[in-house]
Amino acid sequence: MTRFLRRDFLKGMATIPFLGYFGLSFKQNILAEQAKSRTNYLDDLGIDHLDILNYQIPASNAKNYKPIRIGLAGHGWRGPVLLRALGFAHPTWIVENTIKGKPNEEVSLFLDQEDLNLKLTGICDTFSLRAESATAASVNDIHPGAKNGNRKPAKIYASYSQMIASGEIDAVIICTPDHLHTQMATEAAKAGIHVYLEKPMTHSIEEAVALRQVIKSSGIVFQLGHENRQHMSYRIAEELIKKNVLGAVSMIETFTNRNDDFGAWIRPIDKRGTPQTINWKEFLGDTPWQEFNPDKYFNWQRFDEFGTGVTGSQFTHYYDCMNQILHLGIPESVAALGGTYHFKDPRDIPDVMNAIFNYPKRGFTLTYDCTLKSNKFRPMTILGADASMEVGNNLDIFKDSLSKRYTKIVIDPSKPIYNYFPDPRVDGVTSATASAYIKSGFGRTLVERKIVDTTYLHMKEWIDAIRGIGAPSCNIDRGFEETVTYILANISLKEKKMVSWDAIHEKAVLS
Amino acid sequence: MSNIDTSRDRVTRMQIFTLTFLRVVIGWHFLYEGLAKLYSPGGWTAELFLANAVGPFSAVYKSIATNHTILMVVDQVNIWALIIIGLGLFAGIFAKKFAILGMGLLFLYYFAYPPFSGYSVSAPVEGSYWIVNKNLIELAAMLVLYWFPSSDITGLDKYLVKEK
């Protein structure tokens, strides 16, 4: 029995009135706080939903089709990535990415890919060691959908032409230095072989006109390697633009900011690369003969006879993102300035450059700024009269402080009114160049709440299209628009003059 | 059983008031944290918090974020633990048991982002912390609540505690 006095007895209830106050008021406070910090104003933007958020990756059902025989041209920097996207990983890559018997996230993502029912039957690379390395990938039994082995080694061809003529290839992946792209894609298309071509498509406007003709008349399935086409943030951006969230767009800004040797195309020279192990003549392709030069071989991006400048190597990425979102097409005129001011090593390409692409009928300009001496990250930005959009791996929309359209939304102007922020694990990289790559919205994306490699999706789209399912998103017309646009900038830079596009005769005209 | 013998005035009224105040503010904090998560639009998840964890045990936290089923369980356990611990401390019921549970939660939060030198957190944080941060201070305060309970005097525990 308790023998408390009444006053003492009530002491046990001392905090209950405060709990009562809390109970009556907390919900209102939570809702007020949430209203202040919310970053999704879709309703206020006049959008009830985004269709693209319901996007599902189409099933390939590859088992129902006969295997496609794949040939690979070029197994250097990009080749192994493309092979993995198709389900062929080098055994060393698997070992390096397996920790204490457990595959890391990269390998898990690889194994989660759908088995596309492919055979890697042919390989050619002008550096014999790289070709041999690709063969090891072709027979690796660890791959998506693997139950047992039976993979046959891919054949190494001494030249690309031999591989195309072999009759053993249905589709080819071309990820060689830029100067070989047109010649190789043309040869494949003429032989009726489907083409996945890494960007940029060609070295000149004339080549682009000719290649487009060949591809269209051949009827093959052509995909240009721009995996941003598969990235959710760009697809969301495209829908937001279509729904006119930004109002009248007046300017589009794109950037390359790099500040390391790798980013400036000063890359390691493999000592094993000698005239004995490198087929220098095949590497030169149609370019005039010159003596063997390992720097030019391993760092071809810096030299005009092989590479396509910072515009071909870098701007093409951002152009295609913006072309995907805004359907830019070819600009009416282009002016570019810059030069090689910082790097003293042999190089033909600028390390500082600005280009302006003029679209008078659309009411906007597109700009591209490139510096190889600053790593300050600047996101691609689309400036509209009512709001601006920063887009890369994430997407943010900021309202324009003087626009009358979104006055209902009261928010700190530095905070986005719409924000797409995918899973943080999408960004799981360390090196500066790789980190900028992911931030810019390449690499991985999030679909159906799953992390997926965009290169895999892009190549799968191509494979599906070969089997008659869907169509490639970066087809020859998109490739043509991009090629002409970046080459106009290169001409302007070289000639120090404005260049216009004669759309009727499909020619660049110096002003 | 009460550890504080009020009959002999070994704790003053101000001391009891202070301990009660400490218990209520910590209870308030836990309860509000839990309810704010419960009412979060679209559902709250610790996924970002766990996936970005730093420090010597980050792999454990990250592994929770990558497993959808475990993550869902962890999310619900966290929300309801915060609410129940908050209510317990606030009203002073099973306050000592909840103080231990609360310390357990704070311990887990602390080691997800331990303020040791060398572990940088990418998100900007207010204030400067080295080894000691607010989680650790709240944990220490709960240790006080455990050893100097007030709920048997100014809480519902009073009615559960039998007299000697």
Per-residue pLDDT tens for B49-107?
888 788 889 899 989 988 889 999 999 999 999 999 999 999 999 999 999 999 999 99
A271 and A197 in a single domain? The answer is no
Let me know: does B96 contact B151? Beta carbons within 8 Å. yes
Three-state secondary-structure class, residue A174:
strand
3-state helix, strand, coil in chain B (%, to 5): 65, 0, 35
Nearest residue to A176 (alpha-carbon basis) of A136, A215, A116, A134? A134
Q: Is the pLDDT of residue A116 over 60?
A: yes
Q: A495 — contact with chain B (CB < 8 Å)?
A: no
| Per-residue pLDDT tens digits for A345-386 | 999 999 999 999 999 999 999 999 999 999 999 999 999 999
Q: A74: Cβ–Cβ under 8 A, 6 or more apart, which residues?
A: A124, A125, A173, A174, A175, A176, A177, A198
Q: What is the phi-psi region of residue A141: left when phi exceeds 0, alpha when psi lies from -120 to 50, beta otherwise?
A: alpha
A240 and A130 in a single domain? The answer is no
A192 and A330 in a single domain? The answer is no
Q: Is A453 contained in some domain? A: yes
A110 and A135 in a single domain? The answer is yes
d(CA A454, CA A233): 12
Considering only CB atoms, which chain A residues are within 8 Å of B20? 14-15
**Pairing, β A387-391 against β A507-510:** unpaired
Give the confidence band of A485 by pLDDT, cuts at 50, 70, 90: very high
Of B48 and A160, which is predicted with more confidence?
A160
A274 and A129 in a single domain? The answer is no
* Total number of domains constituting chain A: 2
Let me know: does A328 contact A499? Beta carbons within 8 Å. no
Q: Is A44 contained in some domain? A: no
- Average pLDDT value for residue range A48-71: 91
**Pairing, β A364-371 against β A380-384:** unpaired
> What is the overall mean pLDDT for chain B?
87
d(CA A445, CA A114): 16
What does the block give as tokens for A277? 């192990």
Q: A21 — contact with chain B (CB < 8 Å)?
A: no
What does the block give as tokens for A232? 């959710």
Q: Is A4 contained in some domain? A: no
A233 and A137 in a single domain? The answer is no
Let me know: does B151 contact B92? Beta carbons within 8 Å. yes
Provide the residue ranges of all domains of chain B, joining segments of one domain with +. 28-151
Write the single-letter amino acid at A252.
I
A143 and A236 in a single domain? The answer is no
Q: Does B90 sit within 8 Å of A15, measured CB to CB?
A: yes
A238 and A213 in a single domain? The answer is no
Let me know: does A482 contact A201? Beta carbons within 8 Å. yes
Q: Is A35 contained in some domain? A: no
| Per-residue pLDDT tens digits for A299-354 | 999 999 999 999 999 999 999 999 999 999 999 999 999 999 999 999 999 999 99
Considering only CB atoms, which chain B residues are within 8 Å of A20? none
Q: A374: Cβ–Cβ under 8 A, 6 or more apart, which residues?
A: A257, A258, A259
Identify the sign of the CA torsion A322, A324, A326, A330.
positive
> Which pLDDT score, from 0 to 100, does residue B164 have?
46
Phi, psi of A123 (to 5 degrees): -140, 140
Q: Is A15 contained in some domain? A: no
Q: Is A8 contained in some domain? A: no
d(CA B115, CA A144): 41
What does the block give as tokens for A67? 């295997």
A220 and A256 in a single domain? The answer is no
A249 and A111 in a single domain? The answer is no
Q: B86 — contact with chain A (CB < 8 Å)?
A: no
Nearest to B24 among A18, A38, A423 (CB): A18
A106 and A161 in a single domain? The answer is yes
Q: A19 — contact with chain B (CB < 8 Å)?
A: yes
A187 and A254 in a single domain? The answer is no
* Crossing angle between the packed helical segments B13-38 and A16-37, to the nearest 10 degrees: 40
CATH number at residue A368: 3.30.360.10
CATH number at residue A113: 3.40.50.720
CB < 8 Å from A in window 31-50 of B: 31-32, 35-36, 39-41, 47-48
What does the block give as tokens for B36? 């704010």
Nearest to B41 among A2, A13, A34 (CB): A34
Give the bridge partners for A418, in sequence order. Answer: A40, A397
Let me know: does A156 contact A304? Beta carbons within 8 Å. no
| Per-residue pLDDT tens digits for A427-443 | 444 455 555 666 666 67
Q: Is A32 contained in some domain? A: no
Full residue range of the structural domain in which residue A220 is found: 58-227
| Per-residue pLDDT tens digits for A134-184 | 999 999 988 888 765 678 999 999 999 999 999 999 999 999 999 999 999
